[in-house]
Amino acid sequence: MRADTKVKGRLRRLERAAEISDGKFVRQDKMVCLMEAVIESADIVCVEGDNQKQADFLSKCLAKINPEKVNKLHMVLSTVSLGEQLDIFEKGIAEKIDFSYSGPQGLRMARMATAGKIKIGNIHTYLELYSRYFTDLCPNVCCIAAEMADRDGNLYTGDNTEDTPVVVESTAFRSGIVIAQVNNIVDNIPRVDVPAGWVDFICESPELFFLEPLFTRDPAQISETMILAAMIAMKGIYAKYLPKSLNHGVGFNTAAIELMLPTYGEELGLKNNACLHWLLNPHPTMIPAIEDGFVKTIYTVGSELGMKDYIRSKPDIFPIGRDGSMRSNRAFGQMCGHYATDMFIGASLQIDPQGNSSTATADRIAGFGGAPNFGCDPKGRRHSSPAWLKAGEEAYAGLQSPPRGRRLVVQLVETFHGKMEPTFVEKLDAWELQKKAGFALPPIMIYGDDITHIVTEEGIANLLLCRTYEEREQAIRGVAGYTPMGLARDRVAVENLRDRGIIQRAEDLGIRKSDATRDLLAARNIKDLVKWSEGLYDPPSRFRNW
């Protein structure tokens, strides 16, 4: 049996491209022709779409190719953020997609899937999709973004390395074609992140690649309801379990906690006892906690606009190389979040009576990102920590099973969100979406049996202490407030759960609701964050309101 078909196919593609490129380097006006030369119909193609960094110029070029020459592409990318990434389906260039997250394009994705204009293979977690790059979804061609290239073709990816390493390696070592857009071509680069031998073609893009400030949250938008829920979480979970390593999902609820570490966290005795090691992008709202000495290390899956100078001033905390710049890696970060953290705390759009949650609703396919990896109990974990052991003691007390620990998985949500839409529902929209989009299973983000606590402004439901499905359901209904699901609770059962400490209200924790004011925020606006950073944080212009 021949085992060099891909190698011969690669050589065939390179021969077609030889007249278009000057060695590795390609002019901007030749990029569409290059793509038509190296991409073949029905190829698996990855155009780098990360949480933040986008190969936007290459996305636009791909959308301009002739569908009569190249069609039926199978796209694989972690994040769908740009319109061009879906335009190729409208134009008949691509027909199928496997992805992880599509927040900005979630509404359009749902409409196109329902109309049959796009076929969704699966909604993956990041780690799951990366794993498939090396098995059955290996790209024939990948298009990536980098900060710089030198004259030999070595690439420097800078602070926002993100998905680049996993995309390049999976393609380059399976006889695929690697195309890079770079911001600049220079004589010398700060460090070699991708060696020239792994890269086939390089184009200096007309504009800097698109970078989304995804993790910037203005403290001015944090409400007193969010602050109350943050107080409940901090006293009822952080101070109880003392998780030393953790991940925060992106959102205003967790941003409130970050800004309250130097104030309320100090009062609770968390400093030096909890929240020491983080898997986290450089959230600007972490600046006060870093400056106050709460944080020992932060491993990053990407960077954040405006944080570059501040990051470089903290080489003990962030992963800084010998060249003085940060190195991020989303694959390693996802692995760290899955195995090396005691706690994940995030949010969701919908939660059902058994705690199943999803951000995929009837009219929006937002995807999952890393939440299913972070928001689960990793059965392969074997190293112990006090928080992991304490959660395990509660979860498995009295059960006939070997002793084991348990990851803390917390959903921190308000009972209503958006335009008074209930977060707690009797049935997830994911079931309806399954039918509309033809999924094999409803797209549930985090399964209920992985969740340990649900926190709202109404209190905490400690699901670790529940021993039956009925107890679990009433505990969740008990913190669902005035949503229809919350109003359908069994009041006697809920009070019994409260007596047993499974449900805890603010007053049960000794928290006065009148204390939940913005005075607890170490920074109350973006300008305050700049002051905390001593001017090193340079926020994007849209966040400057002074």
| Per-residue pLDDT reduced to its tens digit, 128-164 | 999 999 999 999 999 999 999 999 999 999 999 999 9
Query: Looking at this protein, which amino acid is placed at residue 346?
Result: G
- Cα end-to-end span (Å), the chain: 69
In the prediction, which pLDDT does 454 show? 98
How many CB atoms lie under 10 A from the CB of residue 376?
Answer: 18
Task: Give CA 75 to chain center in angstroms.
Answer: 20
| Per-residue pLDDT reduced to its tens digit, 529-539 | 999 999 999 99
Q: Which residue do the tokens 């308000």 mark?
A: 414
Residues in CB range of 221: below 8 A, 6 or more apart:
252
Looking at the chain, the number of H-run helices and the number of E-run strands are 21, 24
Q: Which residue do the tokens 């509309």 mark?
A: 436
The 3-state DSSP class for residue 468 equals coil
CB 455 within 8 A of CB 479: yes
| Per-residue pLDDT reduced to its tens digit, 249-300 | 999 999 999 999 999 999 999 999 999 999 999 999 999 999 999 999 999 9
Alpha helix ranges (H) inside 379-505: 386-396, 430-437, 469-477, 484-487, 491-499
| Per-residue pLDDT reduced to its tens digit, 460-508 | 999 999 999 999 999 999 999 999 999 999 999 999 999 999 999 999 9
CB 112 within 8 A of CB 89: yes
Residue 401 has pLDDT above 90, yes or no: no
Rounded to whole angstroms, the Cα distance separating 222 from 184 reads: 39
Task: Give CA 122 to chain center in angstroms.
Answer: 17
CB 357 within 8 A of CB 445: yes
How buried is 83 (Cβ within 10 angstroms: 0-12 exposed, 13-18 middle, 19+ buried)?
middle
Break the chain into its structural domains and give their ranges.
9-204, 224-526
CA atoms within 13 A on the CB side of 103: 13
C-alpha Rg value of the chain to the nearest Å: 24
Residues in CB range of 502: below 8 A, 6 or more apart:
461, 462, 465, 466, 471, 475
CB 498 within 8 A of CB 489: no
Rounded to whole angstroms, the Cα distance separating 438 from 121 reads: 10
Rounded to whole angstroms, the Cα distance separating 82 from 91 reads: 15
Residue 2 has pLDDT above 90, yes or no: no
- Superfamily, domain 9-204: Glutaconate Coenzyme A-transferase (3.40.1080.10)
| Per-residue pLDDT reduced to its tens digit, 506-525 | 999 999 999 999 999 999 99
**Whole-number Cα distances in Å, 199 to 12, 62, 392, 518:** 17, 18, 47, 51
pLDDT band at 435 (very low <50, low <70, confident <90, very high): confident
Give the DSSP H or E segment for 265.
none
Task: Give CA 27 to chain center in angstroms.
Answer: 34
How buried is 107 (Cβ within 10 angstroms: 0-12 exposed, 13-18 middle, 19+ buried)?
middle
Rounded to whole angstroms, the Cα distance separating 508 from 301 reads: 38
pTM reported for the whole predicted model: 0.95
Residue 400 has pLDDT above 80, yes or no: no
Region 169-198 average pLDDT = 98
Rounded to whole angstroms, the Cα distance separating 262 from 529 reads: 13
Rounded to whole angstroms, the Cα distance separating 19 from 21 reads: 6
Give the DSSP H or E segment for 297.
strand 297-299
Residues in CB range of 26: below 8 A, 6 or more apart:
20, 34, 201, 202, 203
Residues in CB range of 436: below 8 A, 6 or more apart:
110, 113, 114, 362
The 3-state DSSP class for residue 185 equals strand
Common-topology check for domains 9-204 and 224-526: yes
Rounded to whole angstroms, the Cα distance separating 361 from 31 reads: 37
| Per-residue pLDDT reduced to its tens digit, 229-243 | 999 999 999 999 999
| Per-residue pLDDT reduced to its tens digit, 335-374 | 999 999 999 999 999 999 999 999 888 788 888 899 999 9
pLDDT band at 1 (very low <50, low <70, confident <90, very high): low
Query: Residues for the chain: how many in total?
Result: 546
Residue 3 has pLDDT above 90, yes or no: no
In the prediction, which pLDDT does 114 show? 85
Residues in CB range of 96: below 8 A, 6 or more apart:
73, 74, 75, 118, 119, 120, 121
In the prediction, which pLDDT does 189 show? 97
Region 388-405 average pLDDT = 90
How many CB atoms lie under 10 A from the CB of residue 339?
Answer: 14
The 3-state DSSP class for residue 54 equals strand
In the prediction, which pLDDT does 32 show? 98
**Whole-number Cα distances in Å, 545 to 220, 287, 525, 534, 539:** 11, 19, 9, 18, 10
Give the DSSP H or E segment for 128.
helix 126-133
Top CATH class of 224-526 equals alpha beta
Give just the sign of the alpha carbon dihedral 441, 442, 445, 450.
negative
Residues in CB range of 493: below 8 A, 6 or more apart:
470, 471, 474
Give the DSSP H or E segment for 247.
strand 245-248
In the prediction, which pLDDT does 173 show? 97
Indicate the average pLDDT of the chain. 95
| Per-residue pLDDT reduced to its tens digit, 13-58 | 999 999 999 899 999 999 999 999 999 999 999 999 998 999 999 9
CB 506 within 8 A of CB 525: no
In the prediction, which pLDDT does 61 show? 97
